[in-house]
Structure 1
Amino acid sequence: MDFGQKLKETRNMKGYSLDYIEEETKIRKLYINALEQENFKILPPKVYATGFVRRYSKFLDLDSDAMVEEFQSLAYADEPLIEEPELKKREVKVDFHIPYRNILAGIVFLIIAIWAGKFVLGYINQQARVPEPQGPTPPRVEEPVKGNRPDKPEPEIKPEKAVLLIQARQDCWLTVAVDGESVFTRTLKAGESQEFEGKESIYIKAGNAGGIDITYNGKKVEPIGRNWEVKEKEFRVKS
C-alpha cells in the first residue's frame, strides 16, 4: 500500500474527518490532504513536514518511524534522511563518586582555614588599637545648619527585557525560542495571538511571514517577509 493511501485508508477506517484531524493534531487540513495525495510540493520546509508525518502517523497508531522513513524517501530522495527536532527535556545524569578520604580532608582543611582566618583577624584588630594621647578635649564646633537637603536618590536602572507580541492575520506555522530554548511550535491561526518574554533574546521562524503582525517592546515592527514566505528573525535585548 502506498504512503498516502495508507494514511487516508487508516483515517477513513477510524472514521476521522480532515477537520477533526486538523483540530486534534494542529496540522493544517491543507497539509494533511497533501500528505494523503502525496502532493509534497506544497508542504513547508523539510523539518516541519517530517514533524507533520510523525505526528499524524502517531495519531493514527501507525509506525511513525517507518512512515517518516518512507515519506523522506519519496519526498526527498536526493537528500539525506533527517530526524525532526522534538522539544524534549534532556536528562542529564551525573554520577558523583567522591572518595570518603577526600571529604574528610576537605572538612579538616575548612576548619583550619576558619581558625586561621579568625586568628589573623584578631591580630590585625589588636595591632590597630593604638592608645590615643591624653589631653584636653578640643571644643566642638558646630556647623550652621543650611537646611535639610536629602541626597537625591540614584535612579533605579531596570534591566531591559524583550517582549514580543505576535498576532496572526492569516494562518502561520510558527517556531519560537526564548533565551535559546524552544517554547512554541505550532500553527497560529488567523485571529490568534501569542506573547513571549525573554531576558536576552527571542527567535522566531514563520512559515507565512507576511501573515503576522509583530510588536516588540510596545512598538510595531515591519513585516519580516511576504505572504507564505518562510522567514526567521531574532530580537535581542540591548546591552
Structure 2
Amino acid sequence: MADEPEFEPVADDATAAQPSTPGAKLRAAREAQGLSVQDIATRTRIAQRQLEAIERDDYGALPGIPYAVGFARAYARAIDLDEVAIAADVRNAVHNSDMRATRYEAFEPADPARVPSRTLAWTAAVIGIIVIAGFTIWRTQLLTPPTGEEIAEQQAEKPAAAPKAGVQAPIAAPVTGPVVFTANDDVWMRIVDEAGERLKDGLLKKGESFTLPAGARNPTILTGRPQALDVTVGGKAIPPLGAADRTIADVPVSAEALLARAAAPAGAPAGAP
C-alpha cells in the first residue's frame, strides 16, 4: 500500500499579511486610505522623516521614547486608529529596541497640532511692541518741555483783562511765608525772575518740592502740566495755576501775585494775579 503524502499546514494568507508592528499597522492604514506620508505630516505637523521612521519602527531615529510614543499617537489619531493601542505597541517595541537603555519618562510631548501657529506668535509680538512704544511716547510727551508754538498759543488764548468801571481792584492780602511748589506727579517747570535768570529749570519729580528764593523779583513760571503742582504761600494752598495739561507761560508766582490769585473772585483769568 502506497504511503499517503503528508501535508504541512499552510498559514492563512490573511493572517500572514496582517501587519504586526505598530509602524506597519500605521503604514497599512494610511495606504488603505490613499494618503501619503506628506498628508499625515500636514495633519499632525510632524516632520515627514520622523513619520517615516515610525513606519519603519526605527525609534532610534527619534529624539527619545516620549517623542516616539507621542508622534505615534498623533499619527494614529490622524488616520482614526486606536491611539491608545498604538501607543502601547510602541512602548513595547521601544523597550525591545536599541532605545531600551533610555530612561522612560511618564510624560508625552504635546500634540504639535495644539501648538500656537507662527502667525499668532508674531501677531502677539507686534501688539506687545506697539503697546510698549505707545506708552513710551505718552510718557515722553508728559515730561517734555512745551514748545515755542504751544507757549505762543497759550498766550494768544489769554483773555485781555478789561477794566470794570466802578469796581475797585481787590487789595492783596499781606504776604506771609515762603512760596513752595510741590509736585504731585513728575512735572517739568521753569521759573525765571524779571532779569531772565532761571531760578528753577528742569524736572520736579513726584513728592519733591521747590521753595522760591525770598529775594526773587517778579518771578514767572512756564510749565505744560500746571495740575501737577501744588502751590502754597506760607502754608496756604493756592488754586491751580492753569487748566490741566495746558501750557502756561509768564504766570506770576511771587507771594503777592499768588495771594491775589487766591483772593480773586471765581472766573478771573488764570494768568491774572
> Which of the two has greater strand per residue?
1
Structure-2-length-normalised TM-score: 0.34
Structure-1-length-normalised TM-score: 0.38
Larger Rg: 2
